[in-house]
Amino acid sequence: MNSQRAQEIASSSVMAHVTYNNAPIYIQHVNEENETARIYSMQNPENELEVSLAELIEEIK
């Protein structure tokens, strides 16, 4: 996922269908400089991760 799209999703009030390792996630913050995002799994919101944007998949429905 590119950083601009990740930023759009993070700032949107509409929930996008984004996955990380096949699990639905929520993007909290995008670090455009490092091409990473702070995310958490919808199934485990207490567990925040910093991951590469390249590992995030948006499912278009």
Mean pLDDT rounded to a whole number for the chain: 95
pTM of the model: 0.89
In Å, the largest CA–CA distance within the chain is: 29
What pLDDT score was predicted for residue 60?
84
Q: What does 1-61 look like in DSSP terms, one character per residue?
A: --HHHHHHHHH-SSPP-EEETTEEEEEEEEETTTTEEEEEETTEEEEEEEEEGGGEEE---
What does the pLDDT average to over 28-54? Answer: 96
> What whole-number percentage of the chain has pLDDT above 70?
100
Nearest-angstrom CA–CA distance, 32 and 42: 23
- Give me the residue spans of the domains in the chain: 3-58
**Residue owning tokens 């509409």:** 14
Give residue-wise pLDDT tens across range 8-35: 999 998 989 999 999 999 999 999 999 9
What pLDDT score was predicted for residue 32?
95
What pLDDT score was predicted for residue 15?
87
